Chains A and B, each alone.
Chain A
Amino acid sequence: MKLASRKTATADVTRRQRSAHSSKEALYWIGPAALVILLIFGYSVVSVLISSFRYDGDWVGLENFEIVITDPIFLTALKHNGLLLLAVPVLIILAFILAVTLFETRRGMRFYRSAIFLPYILPIPVVAVVFGQIYQLNGALNIFLRSIGLEPLAQDWLGDPSIALGTMSSVIIWKEVGFGVILMLAHIISLPNETYEAARIDGAGFWRTHLSITRPAILNTIVFYGVIEAITMVSWVFNYVYVMSNGLGGPGNATMVSELYIYRAAFQNKAPELAAVAAVFLFVATLILMVAFFRIQRRSIAGTFNK
């Protein structure tokens, strides 16, 4: 007893002293990482903000903004990023269907899971080049379609401006769906047994069970995946577009996206100030996503800290 109370007393004092010292100590630990992050992110964002107001070293106020906002190519790029966001629900639905299907499958599940996840680990340039070949007018896909008599379906997937963006998003979906499947499947598997008891007893069918039970149960994961993919569609599609459209933004401007616009403005059109403006816009747009992401994570972070 004496020992126990002494230990508690120790622990109390310990905790008090710990919080007194811990900020300073935490600084040492977090310091180096924070330094790198500050340099890479902090310096960049501040620098981009400043550059967007200058031209060749002189302060020009909102001139650059005006030029970029009235640029039809920039507006098209933003529109395309928006259109790509439409792929996110598709991804979520596909991933959900595949995840529950895998969950219900016992034989061969590992094989299917490995196969479905493989695209996610392939490098984007590789994926883009290979699909570039497959989607040629006389490429593999059309050869296949023609051979099974679906000639009318054989389009110029990459060369037709009206479907080029869709073709691009199909490649992105192909690659990203595996990630969602894995996420959701992992969560479903970790659900407790009782979840499905009631449904089994009631004899509920496949869809009813999963729509009404699984979907709410793993809603957090679904939302998380949705946000991650939304972030991808806005911030991480450069690689796909660059490789598949030879850096031009597709037939006409059909696959122009904001990242490509910024890249071209900075490195090909030699107008870094315009690129900076576009970057500011893109950053502000992603801020919205950032806040959403932050909110989601904050709950989970707070949760882990208060365990």
Chain B
Amino acid sequence: MTKSRGVKRSKVEAFFRYSLLSFVAFTALVPAYIMFTGSFKSQGEFLNSPFGIPDSPSFAGYQSAWTDNFPNWLTNSFLIVTGAVVMTEILAALAAWGFARFPFNGRETLLGAMVSLMVVPPVVLLIPLFQFGVQLTLISTLRLVILIYVGLMLPFSIYMLTNFFKSIPESILESASIDGASSFRTFRSIVLPLSGAPLATLAVVNLLWAWNELLLALVFLQSNEKKTLMVGITGFQSRYSLDIPTVMAGMSIATLPLVIAYLFGQRFFIAGLTAGSTKGE
């Protein structure tokens, strides 16, 4: 970033800037710090000195958190997220290509309508889908949850990919069709490989959403073995309200995958989330 800055610099201004940023960064990081250090403390220690470094760090919290049902929950979360993200990628890529490549009447309206569905509160869909699931005895199955997640993630995914596909230069596509490729061929062999980056960022954004989702998993996964991590740790708080280190340990385990992914793949997160708004304006 070698842009020239817009403003004359002054020491005072720099002081205020850094103070503000430090304060905000501190506020942003402190809760994670409390959570993480708390997981190694004892109950009493946590209540008395939440900010301090653990006196004699112990893994007891992690032990009781893990043996509760964590492996199950982690597996379920993993399965659901993988299934949902993969399905969404496929369906959204196909649909986005349809929108991007083939002009038809009402294309913009249809796309706009689809994208606006992002606004619908999931709780509105909850009851009819729950009754639907009950009738098909699909409650507490991962399948139904995956399907619903896919439905919820599709609007944004289609929108994002359509934006990108539209930006592929016509020349490549023209040459492909002249050289004798069907649209599917073109899609398969040219477009997809070119879309590596947006597909990755979309996957990351969807992964984030699906991993953190609570309400739908809470309602549709009633049986204890089928719960996802988020549902599990929500019940954690009430079950271990006497053992906060265990709760904190559970929280830490739930967050760790995300934080690690974040630290390594920051640019994907950021790129994916900003893609929708700055393009095309």
Q: Which residues of A contact B (CB under 8 A)?
A: 10-11, 14, 18-19, 22-23, 25-30, 32-34, 36-37, 39-41, 43-45, 47-48, 51, 97-98, 101-106, 108, 111-112, 114-119, 121-127, 129-134, 138-140, 143-144, 174, 178-179, 182-183, 186-187, 189-190, 193, 195-196, 199-200, 203-206, 209-210, 213-214, 220-221, 224-225, 231, 234-236, 238-239, 242-243, 246, 258-259, 262-263, 266-267, 272, 275-276, 279, 282-283, 286, 289-291, 293-294, 297-305, 307
Q: In the complex, what residue of chain B is closest to A289 when comparing beta carbons?
A: B119
The A-contacting residues of B in range 151-174, CB under 8 angstroms, are: 151-152, 154-155, 158-159, 162-163, 166-167, 174
Q: Are A293 and B108 in contact (CB under 8 A)?
A: no
The answer to whether residues A183 and B274 also contact, given A25-B102, A301-B108 and a CB cut-off of 8 A, is yes
Can you give 16 contacting A-B residue pairs, CB < 8 Å?
A37-B114, A104-B17, A112-B25, A114-B266, A118-B32, A123-B254, A134-B31, A235-B122, A282-B123, A283-B124, A290-B117, A293-B115, A299-B281, A300-B279, A303-B281, A304-B166
- Give chain B interface residues in 213-251, CB to chain A under 8 Å: 214-215, 218-219, 230, 233-234, 236-238, 244, 247-248, 251
Q: How far is the CB of A215 from chain B (nearest CB, A)?
A: 13
Question: Which chain A residue lies CB-closest to B20?
Answer: A101
- Structural contact, B21 and A112, CB atoms closer than 8 A: yes
Complex Cα–Cα for A124 and B42 (A):
24
The answer to whether A263 touches B51, judged by C-beta atoms less than 8 angstroms apart, is: no
Q: Is residue B69 within 8 Å, beta carbon to beta carbon, of the partner chain?
A: no
* A33, A262, A297: the one within 8 Å of B123 (CB): A262
CB distance from A150 to the nearest CB of B (A): 15
Q: Is the CB of B29 within 8 A of A115?
A: yes
Cβ B99 vs Cβ A30 within 8 A: yes
Does B255 have its Cβ within 8 Å of any Cβ on chain A? Answer: yes
Would you give the shortest CB distance from A278 to chain B, in whole angstroms? 9
B28 touches A279 (CB 8 A): no
Of B97, B117, B162, most A-chain CB atoms within 10 Å: B117
Other than the given A123-B230, A139-B50, 16 more pairs (CB < 8 A) read A33-B158, A36-B147, A45-B120, A48-B125, A112-B24, A116-B28, A118-B28, A121-B208, A126-B254, A134-B50, A143-B50, A189-B1, A199-B7, A266-B130, A290-B116, A298-B112
Chain A residues in 8 Å Cβ range of B7: 104, 196, 199-200, 204-206, 209-210
Contact A300 B281 (CB under 8 A): yes
Most chain B beta-carbon neighbours within 10 Å: one of A29, A199, A272: A29
| Chain B residues whose C-beta falls within 8 Å of the C-beta of A127 in the assembled complex | 31
**Residue in B closest to A110 when the chains form the complex, CB atoms:** B266
Does B273 lie within 8 Å of A182, measured CB to CB? yes
How many Å from the CB of B210 to the closest CB on chain A? 11
Whether A179 lies near B273 (C-beta < 8 A) is yes
| B196 smallest CB distance to A (angstroms) | 20
The 5 closest A-B pairs by CB, nearest first: A29-B98, A40-B151, A196-B6, A235-B121, A22-B102
Contact with A along B242-275 (1 / 0, CB 8 A): 0010011001001100110011001001100110
B56 is an interface residue with CB less than 8 A from chain A: no
Q: Which of A45, A206, A246 has the most CB of B within 10 A?
A: A206
Asked if A101 meets B21 with Cβ closer than 8 Å, knowing A182-B270, A246-B238, the reply is yes
CA distance A138 to B49 in the complex (A): 11
Residues of B in contact with A, size category: 35 or more
Which chain A residues border B230 with CB–CB below 8 Å? Answer: 123-125
Is the CB–CB distance between B214 and A124 below 8 Å?
Answer: yes
Check if B98 sits within 8 Å of A26, measured CB to CB: yes
Question: What mask results when residues 108 to 139 of chain B are scored 1 for a CB within 8 Å of chain A, else 0?
Answer: 10111111111111111111111110000000
- Separation of A67 and B63 alpha carbons in the complex (Å): 49
CA of A139 to CA of B50, assembled, Å = 8
B8 touches A34 (CB 8 A): no
Q: Which residues of A contact B269 (CB under 8 A)?
A: 117, 121
**B73-86, CB under 8 A of A: which get 1 and which 0?**
00000000000000
B102 touches A23 (CB 8 A): yes
Once bound together, how far apart are the Cα atoms of A141 and B259, in whole Å? 24
Please give, as numbers and ranges, the residues of chain B lying within 8 Å of A206 by CB-CB distance.
7, 13
Chain A contacts for B126, CB-based, 8 A: 262-263, 266, 279
Contacts of B263 in A (CB 8 A): 114
Residues of B within 8 A of A130 (CB): 31-32, 34-35, 248, 251
A199 to B8 Cα, complex, angstroms: 9
Neighbour of A209 across the interface among B6, B99, B123, B279, CB < 8 A: B6
Query: Do the beta carbons of A276 and B113 come within 8 Å of each other?
Result: no
Q: Does B92 sit within 8 A of A, measured CB to CB?
A: yes
A117-B270 CB under 8 A given contacts A104-B17, A190-B278: yes
Of A125, A138, A200, A242, which one neighbours B6 at CB under 8 angstroms?
A200
Interface residues of B in 1-44 (CB under 8 A from A): 1, 3-8, 13, 17-18, 20-22, 24-25, 27-29, 31-32, 34-35, 38
